[in-house]
Structure 1
Amino acid sequence: MPDSVMMNRSGMVSKIHTRIRTDTFKSSYDLVGKELGRGKFAVVKKCVEKSTGKEYAAKFLRKRRKGQDCRVDIINEIAVLESAEANPFVVSLHEVYETTSEIILVLECAAGGEIFNQCVADNDEAFTEKDVIRLARQILTGVAGLHRNNVVHLDLKPQNILLTSSRPLGDIRIVDFGLSRCVDSVEEVREILGTPEYVAPEVLNYEPISTATDMWSIGVLIYVMLTGASPFLGEEKQETFLNISQVNVDYSQDVFDGVSSLAVDFIKSLLLKNPRKRATAEECLKHPWLNGHSSPLPHLRNPLRSSLDEPETSPSESEPESPAPSPDLLIVASYKTCSGQSEMKSVRAAFAFDEPFSGRPEIKQELIC
């Protein structure tokens, strides 16, 4: 982001350029069909602009959450979307409306839904390695653009990567910037932010967040896309956090059956505990796995036998409901667009997919003990 952008100590941007309309949303848009997704503090609905007939996804965000004014969080999300306006793989912001209780983001509608659906699909519906390579290049190109603007997403996962179409397989759009932060070399940003399965070790240790934090999540994301398994998922959150802090990853042939060794090498370049040793998005785009393959690219993995818990937000924005949070854990609703009703398979055990969390430093011991 430009140096002139106003940013607080938590890496949240407080200045936007988008005009916030206060006239009635329904005077310009018709809501159509059923909800695309619902979370604790947001609901996403498909809408049609009356003047053009174009379809969009309207994200209705409550300004007060748990008795607190969270308008600043929504402004930060708008600012991040503004900064990514030229990024072809980030969902585009069309308009913003505000009422006494809500802010409404009118966003590009990615009709293909989340890539999560293919991640947990059986063989006929699952991604091929060739599919994953193409989508990984797009994800990395999009993330590289964010990182050049000093923006870290902090919640990269299959539920936050949408497709412009599912059949034929379209292009990706990165969504849900509710947890995003702006980082620079002047102020350190330290927060407990993210989704448990995808969160990096430095977040759990309350160490500074950086662009490398996203790269860890991308390593987990690609692992899931290739195998249908969640590498760090345990039976309880504490086991998940322990697996992450110890970088306890299964790279065995059983998990990566039919997947190329270059793909495994790519993931290993990201799932490193030391953030400074992880490959950057730009470096990843130069990796041999994404630039040619010496052997045929088979269809991936054996059929998965898993189920998804009740969604809570998603496509264009929905996410499965998580187990009851710890009293010290502040749950943050994300903006996504639609999740299936099954459960991500773990290499170790099945466990309900968790929603993003945001916490304070004092919860660190609970997270990693």
Structure 2
Amino acid sequence: LITVREGADLQISDHNVLPYKVIRNLGMGGCASVEMVEDTTTGQLFAHKIFRRYHGPNLKKFRLEVRNEIKIMRRLSSHPHIIRLFATYACKRDFGMILTPVADGGDLATYLLNILDSGNPPTAENRAVLMRAFGCLANGLAFIHKQTIRHKDIKPQNILIHQGRIIYTDFGIAFDATQHDSTTTTGRPNAFTRRYCAPEVASWAKRNRKSDIFSLGCVFIEVLTVLEPLLHSEHL
């Protein structure tokens, strides 16, 4: 087994050299799955994001897209409300990211649904976490935008809760405008979530950092409907 140090970008020929033992599956997205793993040499827990084996003809383009996500996450990892990229690896047509922390509270979407499904008002602990979320998310997004980056897919599923702390994750379609004149883009979006995207995104019009702010506003409304049940859609 090899030793994986923070900041490493590994090129390996066999997954078995990685020192990770799978604990459980955490979720699956459009192009990747995430599992909780334990480093058998240190005992530390990580989230292991595994990009599904790429079978398309343009492997170079796919690698560039993954590297873009890695580059963005490395620039943002110093912020307390953004997931930290610990290390990466490439193994033939497979790519992986080792992330920290492993969110003990799951994602915000599941957290909100669990409160609603309980049939009871939010507990004092629930309320404390959700009340903190407004400032944490606003602060995190301000930092992202200050780095001339657009997240482009802000939604409860891409927000984690760990020890009461709110954390942005999944920068797979984020846009780094460092080499551009502005964060404005046009044309067909490469992906978006209609429930949370700004109107200009859905209509393929010009969009910029303000589109992220619109999406965050949608998240805030969902949090408010749990904190204040009378605001729930069935009462509007």
Q: Give the TM-score range, shorter chain.
A: 0.7 to 0.9
Give the Å deviation of 1:124: 3.8
- Identity, % of aligned pairs? 24
Q: Residues 214-271 of structure 1: CA distance to partner in whole angstroms, max 9, x if unpaired? A: 100011000011115xxxxxxxxxxxxxxxxxxxxxxxxxxxxxxxxxxxxxxxxxxx
Alignment of 1:179-328 (within 5 A): 179-183=173-177, 186=181, 188-190=184-186, 191-192=188-189, 193-228=191-226, 300-301=228-229
Q: Which residue of 2 aligns with 1:156?
A: 154
The corresponding residue for 1:118 is: 111
The amino acid of 1:171's aligned partner reads: R
Change (3 A) 1:347 1:201: farther
> CA–CA distance in 2 between the matches of 1:102 and 1:208?
34
Is contact 1:157–1:221 with CA below 8 Å preserved after alignment? yes
Q: Deviations over 1:26-68 (max 9, x none)?
A: 4342323331112342111111112321000111113526554
- In 2, Cα distance between equivalents of 1:125 and 1:32: 33
Q: What is the TM-score of this pair, normalised by structure 2?
A: 0.81
Matched, 1:21 2:10: yes
Query: Greater relative contact order: 1 or 2 (C-alpha under 8 angstroms, separation 6 or more)?
Result: 1
Task: Answer yes or no: is the 8 Å Cα contact 2:23–2:38 preserved in 1.
Answer: no
- State which drifts further: 25-34 or 67-76: 25-34
Structure 2: how far apart are the matches of 1:65 and 1:216?
A: 35
Q: How many residues align?
A: 216
Q: Which SS does the other structure have where 1:73 is aligned?
A: helix
Q: Provide the rounded CA distance (Å) in 2 between the counterparts of 1:215 and 1:173.
A: 16
Q: Secondary structure at the match of 2:195?
A: helix
What SS does the corresponding residue of 1:194 show, helix, strand or coil?
coil
Once the 2 structures are TM-superposed, how far is the Cα of residue 212 of structure 1 from its aligned partner? 0.9
Q: Report the TM-score, using the length of structure 1 for normalisation.
A: 0.53
CA distance in 1, matches of 2:58, 2:157: 27
- In 2, distance between residues paired with 1:140 and 1:223? 14
1:132 equivalent among 130, 133, 153: 130
Q: Which residue of 2 aligns with 1:88?
A: 80
Instruction: Kindly provide the CA deviation profile for residues 47-102 of structure 1, in whole angstroms up to 9, marking residues without a partner as x.
Output: 11123210001111135265543222111110110110211110001111111121
Give CA deviations for 1:131-154 in whole Å, capped at 9, x if unaligned.
Answer: 433111111111111110011101
**Per-residue Cα deviation, 1:284-329 (whole angstroms, up to 9, x for no partner):** xxxxxxxxxxxxxxx5316x8xxxxxxxxxxxxxxxxxxxxxxxxx
Q: Is the 8 A contact 1:25 1:97 kept in 2?
A: no
Distance 2:44 2:58 in 1: 35
Conserved 8 A contact 1:156-1:218: yes
More helix by share: 2
Match of 2:31 among 41, 61, 65: 41
